[in-house]
């Protein structure tokens, strides 16, 4: 892939590029905890966005997307978002660097990658992070990694118009091979935990479903959590987020049963992240897997952001002794499940799931084997 992107760059722009990459990410556990000031446990993966870039001495930035087979150009001194277009992510990062005082000059860029689009592996965040890292390396800006994370997130907010949390960009830039990152979404303090899977493998199963419910349900869940926090603050003024609310305090809140149930999920999920990290640090995969199954149970029954396709895949996993844990990953109502699968049984499980899923839902799922890898870096 690296060589192909380099060759395409040379064919388009007739010069030698700098090559950089930024990976996609998975989230092992800790879903819908980010906007509640809680913990998440992402990892960068071995699927990435690759950027070839070189200065061109012009006032124009010339781009080419390998995946879309499409060119785009913009003036370095005058550009604005192009809604729903891939170039928006690149321009958003350029705008953030300019705003921060970095003198970005005209450049040529070719990019492509092997992160499946729409599977919830954060291909857009990987592109933003690769562009930021590439521009920093090209122009010797020496931008600190944590600043690249913030610029990429702000690019998503200001140009793409998506009010995302910081987890995707953080994992993409700060990832470490064979480790997950426990990120405190309130303070941005983080710690690495080893992922020593031994005879097991992380496998994603993509439902190939994206229900339109997800955006409105996401907003509703945020409002329900905020209602819980406001009620808790009336009793304890020290409460800032659901993370500060105990199950005992939750029971005393004057809120609807629905709000209580949503809040209960978040409080317990935060604890599951901490328990999962302890299990990983001990190399206890069975206990880790139980936390992962419990996470899905909460997401499906209490937070109600699953769907029949996701629930089917997790139910299959619960009945399969060679899968230690499984859950839906991401915002919900579609996307992937993440599974801890015995390597020797991967092919059999794929075959069984494909047959049963096709019979039930009339479509084929996709399977991706992934492993934790390094965050953003240079190639060669």
Closest CA to 114 of 177, 45, 162, 201: 45
User: How many angstroms separate the CA atoms of 141 and 101, rounded?
Assistant: 10
Closest CA to 338 of 327, 351, 346: 327
User: How many angstroms separate the CA atoms of 190 and 181, rounded?
Assistant: 6
User: Is residue 32 a known part of a binding site?
Assistant: yes
Going by the DSSP 8-state scheme, the letter that residue 250 receives in this structure is H
User: Is residue 65 a known part of a binding site?
Assistant: yes
User: Is residue 300 a known part of a binding site?
Assistant: no
User: 3-state DSSP call for residue 58?
Assistant: coil
Catalytic one of 108, 114, 168, 184: 168
Q: How far, in Å, are 1, 92, 122, 123 from residue 110 at the CA level?
A: 12, 17, 19, 15
Strand ranges (E), 185-299: 190-194, 200-210
DSSP string for residues in 348-366 = HHHHHHHHHHHHHHSS--E
Q: Which residues contact 254 (CB under 8 A, 6 or more apart)?
A: 231
Q: How far, in Å, are 102, 164, 212, 301, 306 from residue 218 at the CA level?
A: 35, 12, 11, 16, 12
User: Is residue 22 a known part of a binding site?
Assistant: no
User: How many angstroms separate the CA atoms of 356 and 147, rounded?
Assistant: 46
User: Is residue 119 a known part of a binding site?
Assistant: yes
Closest CA to 197 of 320, 324, 293: 324
User: Is residue 2 a known part of a binding site?
Assistant: no
User: Is residue 306 a known part of a binding site?
Assistant: no
Token digits of residue 295: 């996470």
User: Is residue 120 a known part of a binding site?
Assistant: yes
Q: Are 21 and 377 in contact (CB under 8 A)?
A: yes
User: Is residue 216 a known part of a binding site?
Assistant: no
Q: Is position 241 annotated as part of the catalytic site?
A: no
User: Is residue 295 a known part of a binding site?
Assistant: no
Tally Cβ neighbours within 10 Å of residue 119.
23
Residues identified as active-site: 168
Q: Which residues are annotated as a binding site for substrate?
A: 31-34, 218
Q: Which residues are annotated as a binding site for Mg(2+)?
A: 124, 156
Q: Which residues are annotated as a binding site?
A: 31-34, 65, 118-124, 156, 218
């Amino acid at each position: 892939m690296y060589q192909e992107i380099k060759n395409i760059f040379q064919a388009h722009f007739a010069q030698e590029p700098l090559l950089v990459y930024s990976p996609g990410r998975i989230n092992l556990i800790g879903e819908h905890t980010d906007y509640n000031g809680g913990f998440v446990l992402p990892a960068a993966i071995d699927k990435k966005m690759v950027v070839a870039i070189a200065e061109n001495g012009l006032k124009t930035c010339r781009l080419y997307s390998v995946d879309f087979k499409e060119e785009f150009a913009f003036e370095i001194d005058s550009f604005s978002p192009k809604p729903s277009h891939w170039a928006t992510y690149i321009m958003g990062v350029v705008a953030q660097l300019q705003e921060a005082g970095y003198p970005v000059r005209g450049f040529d860029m070719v990019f492509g990658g092997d992160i499946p689009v729409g599977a919830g592996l954060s291909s857009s965040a990987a592109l933003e992070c690769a562009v930021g890292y590439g521009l920093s390396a090209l122009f010797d800006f020496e931008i600190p990694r944590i600043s690249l994370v913030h610029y990429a997130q702000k690019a998503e907010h200001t140009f793409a118009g998506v009010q995302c949390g910081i987890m995707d960009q953080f994992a993409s830039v700060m990832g470490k091979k064979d480790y997950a990152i426990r990120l405190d979404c309130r303070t941005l303090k983080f710690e690495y935990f080893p992922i020593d899977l031994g005879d097991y493998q992380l496998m994603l199963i993509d439902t190939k479903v994206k229900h339109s419910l997800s955006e409105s349900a996401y907003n509703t869940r945020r409002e329900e959590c905020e209602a819980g926090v406001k009620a808790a603050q009336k009793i304890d003024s020290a409460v800032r987020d659901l993370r500060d609310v105990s199950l005992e305090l939750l029971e005393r809140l004057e809120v609807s049963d629905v709000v209580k149930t949503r809040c209960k999920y978040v409080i317990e999920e935060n604890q599951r992240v901490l328990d999962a990290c302890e299990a990983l640090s001990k190399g206890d995969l069975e206990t880790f897997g139980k936390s992962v199954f419990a996470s899905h149970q909460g997401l499906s029954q209490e937070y109600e952001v699953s769907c029949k396709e996701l629930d089917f895949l997790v139910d299959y996993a619960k009945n399969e002794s060679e899968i230690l844990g499984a859950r839906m990953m991401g915002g919900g109502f579609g996307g992937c499940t993440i599974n801890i699968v015995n390597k020797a049984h991967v092919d059999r499980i794929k075959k069984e799931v494909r047959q049963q899923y096709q019979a039930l839902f009339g479509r084929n799922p996709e399977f991706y084997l992934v492993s934790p890898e390094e965050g953003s870096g240079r190639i060669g």
